[in-house]
Chains A and B, each alone.
Chain A
Amino acid sequence: MTAYIVRRCGHALVVLFGVSIIVFILLHMLPGGPARASLGLRANPASIRAFDLRYGLNEPLPIQYLIWIGQLLHGNLGFSYKLNQSVDALLAENLPRTLVLVGSATVIAVVAAVPLGMYQAVRRNSPEDYVLTGLSFLFYSMPSFFLGIVLIILLSDVLPLFPATGPTATQPLLSQLSNLVLPVLTLTLITLALFSRYMRSSVLDNLTQDYVRTATAKGLSRVRILFRHVLPNAVLPIITLIGLSLPGILGGALIVESLFNYPGMGLLFWTAAQSEDFPVMLGTSVVIGTGVVIGSLLADILYAVADPRIRY
């Protein structure tokens, strides 16, 4: 087990190195190079020379990479000249709000997907199963902004239950719970569609296993078989699925944040893209990539700890 965790951590480090290389390549693909991308297209040659000198951009590429990664490791993600703020400060302000959005949507989706998937598997090919399968296909096939709009129409316009805009940045998030409902609900439904389909087939697979037949033969009640035997086996793979779906959920969060004007990392990234604020885009990519790597590392370790059958 320890050997596996050590190996898995080493793997994560290699992937992190890969992420940094990708962002470094993006940095050098920027129009006009890193200096112009940071200072703006109208920067004069003198300030560009000063910038290049300061950040070692005259050095050969490997040295440049080392300087850049050294900065990153010291927690310096760059400076947004457009917003006149350090990228660290911007992220420190916006990251927690994205974590609230993504975290609550993922938790609700998992908590809802497990009973839903089990119910569908137990009553497979019943009208209820068809309706739920149809719904999850529908949510899965809707562009996320469209799903958000439909929810706004239904729950804000037709039935005025919740406000159509997300929380504002000026007040604490938790004092604006009603503004959180629609963004979280949108992201939850997209994620739920994926998880419940997975859960349904996972339970179906387990129902055909020998241990279920044995348990039935022993005379255990159907409820006991489902909850004591099938449920733990069917739920475990969901942990891995969460790790694998993290990039997708974060992508969905970007759309949801821009739709509801929710002041998180996604919105920050998108606004930065529109104003060509590349330091912010690069810093956000590094942080999100790191988050995904750590997230899937945790999911894999948790899975190894939770499933006693896993021996690597």
Chain B
Amino acid sequence: MAELSPMAPADLVVGPVDPGEENPHSPWISFLRVFAENRLALAGSIVIVLFFAFCFLGPVVYRTNQVATNIAQASRGPSPHHLLGTDAVGYDVLGRLMAGGQITLVVALLVALLAASFGLVWGAISGFSGGGVDSLMMRVVDAALAIPGLFLLIFLDAILRPSVVILVVVIASLAWLAPARLVRAEVLKLRTMGYVEAARGAGAGPVTILFRHLFPNVIGTMAVNATFQVADAVLTVAALSFLGLGIPPPAANWGSMLSNGVSYVFAGYWWQIWPAGVCVVAIVVAFNFVGDGLRDAVDVRLRRR
């Protein structure tokens, strides 16, 4: 049993554990140990925490007007008034990085959550049903993956009016395809396992098996995938912003700041390009590192080193 399910190692099942004492074999402890062994993953998590603090606590300390433009102050270099200068319409760049970061992070997290959950349900139903239902559901995924996502996104964006909610839904409406495939493959493997057979023998219905026995075992894979999805969503929002299809102003995100900044690439306004560029790259790299670390930590085989 312990070999099969990462959620129930033998030690936990055999004897009651004193809640006051830390159990060295607890799955959470070994999970954290493997994760923390990966220096890059640890660094990535620290960067993510710092970015959250910067975006959500920063505006409390560093107050700026991010609603009204101020053309008289446009494209000024860094000064004591504007630590990172101002952009082409006079917004304070440092303050805008905070405000834009909030939207970037929230959009990316929501996309990942939505895409992972929908992909989980779709993939699990598909893999668990098998036969014709499975084929049909997977051909839908194949067909949607065949048209490059960016083309479909531009299409949907041209039809729908962009707003934060629509942007999240539109990006998620394509991002769930990859996790759906992943979950299906996992479920196909899991559903032939002994404990599923045993549950079925004990009279458990398909819904119970799906929710009680299969979901907990794919959650790890999904967490890894969702982490990569966050990074991808940041890049997708940036790409759409560059194509003029992001979130309309005065709202900002790092992608739109970067793409506005690069229009002035030859004017020497470095503060309009590099800070936003560094933010995007840093957060994407950080989430990728954390995803790699999570993948190792979720992998049960590595825990027994």
Contact = CB atoms under 8 A, between A and B. Distances in A.
B265 A152 contact: yes
Interface in B116-152: 139-140, 142-152
A220 interface: no
A14 interface: yes
A22 B143 CA distance: 8
Contacts of B285: 137-138, 141
Contact of B244 (A23, A140, A274): A274
A254 B143 contact: no
Given A251-B149, A273-B154, A143 B258 contact: yes
A251 B151 contact: yes
Given A138-B285, A143-B258, A254-B151, A276 B158 contact: yes
A255 B150 contact: yes
Given A138-B281, A276-B158, A289 B147 contact: yes
A182 interface: no
Interface in B185-201: none
Contacts, number: 126
B288 interface: yes
B246 to A, nearest CB: 12
A270 B146 contact: no
A11 to B, nearest CB: 8
A143 B288 CA distance: 14
Contacts of A29: 159
A255 B288 contact: no
A145 B262 contact: yes
Contacts of B288: 137, 140-141
Interface in A17-62: 17-19, 21-23, 26, 29-31
Contact of A251 (B142, B148, B277): B148
A292 interface: yes
Given A30-B159, A251-B148, A146 B284 contact: no
Given A14-B139, A143-B258, A255-B243, A289 B265 contact: no
Interface stretch (B2-10, B91-99, B205-213, B234-242): B234-242
Interface residues of B, number: 39
Nearest to B143: A18
Interface in B150-190: 150-152, 154-155, 157-159
A269 interface: yes
B243 A141 contact: no
A15 B280 CA distance: 35
Nearest to A29: B159
Contacts of B284: 141
Interface string A230-246: 00000000000000001
Given A18-B139, A19-B143, A30-B159, A146 B149 contact: no
Of the listed residues A137, A144, A146, A273, the one surrounded by the most CB atoms of chain B closer than 10 A to its CB is A146
Interface stretch (A108-116, A203-211, A280-288): A280-288
A18 B143 CA distance: 5
B255 interface: yes
A86 interface: no
A270 B148 contact: no
A247 B265 contact: no
Contact of B146 (A15, A145, A251): A15
B163 to A, nearest CB: 16
Of the listed residues B147, B158, B280, the one surrounded by the most CB atoms of chain A closer than 10 A to its CB is B147
Given A143-B242, A149-B265, A247 B148 contact: yes
Contact of B139 (A15, A137, A285): A15
Given A255-B243, A273-B154, A146 B265 contact: no
B62 interface: no
A83 to B, nearest CB: 16
A259 B244 CA distance: 12
Contacts of B239: 143-145, 251, 255
A155 B274 CA distance: 18
B34 interface: no
Nearest to A250: B148
Interface of A: 11, 14-19, 21-23, 26, 29-31, 137-138, 140-146, 149, 152-153, 157, 246-248, 250-251, 254-255, 258-259, 269-270, 273-274, 276, 281, 284-285, 288-289, 292-293, 296
Given A19-B147, A259-B242, A293-B146, 16 more contacts: A15-B142, A15-B146, A18-B142, A18-B146, A26-B159, A29-B159, A141-B288, A143-B258, A146-B238, A152-B265, A254-B148, A273-B157, A273-B158, A273-B243, A288-B147, A292-B147
